[in-house]
């Protein structure tokens, strides 16, 4: 991740919930037409694993 992308994410985290939603919707509108390469099974598995680990952490916090 580049320093610019990290800065954008840090700024995003400082926005209000409403502003984050507005920005996320605008980014989705702009990326819908991009030509993304297909994801490999390995990439999908790694992303799923990361997601489930995050969900496990959140669930542990609520218990």
Q: Give per-residue pLDDT as tens, 24-49.
A: 999 999 998 888 889 899 999 999 99
**Residue-wise burial string across 18-37, b where 16 or more C-beta atoms lie within 10 A, e elsewhere:** eeeeeeeeeeeeeeeeeeee
Is pLDDT above 90 for 62? no
Q: Please determine, for residue 12, whether its predicted confidence score (pLDDT) is greater than 90.
A: yes
Q: How far apart are CA 57 and CA 55, in angstroms?
A: 5
- Say how far residue 62 (Cα) sits from the centre of its chain: 22
């Amino acid at each position: 991740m580049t320093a610019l992308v990290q800065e954008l994410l840090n700024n995003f985290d400082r926005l209000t919930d409403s502003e984050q939603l507005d920005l996320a919707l605008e980014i989705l509108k702009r990326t819908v037409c991009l030509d993304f390469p297909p994801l490999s099974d390995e990439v999908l598995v790694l992303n799923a694993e990361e997601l489930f680990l995050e969900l496990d952490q959140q669930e542990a916090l609520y218990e």
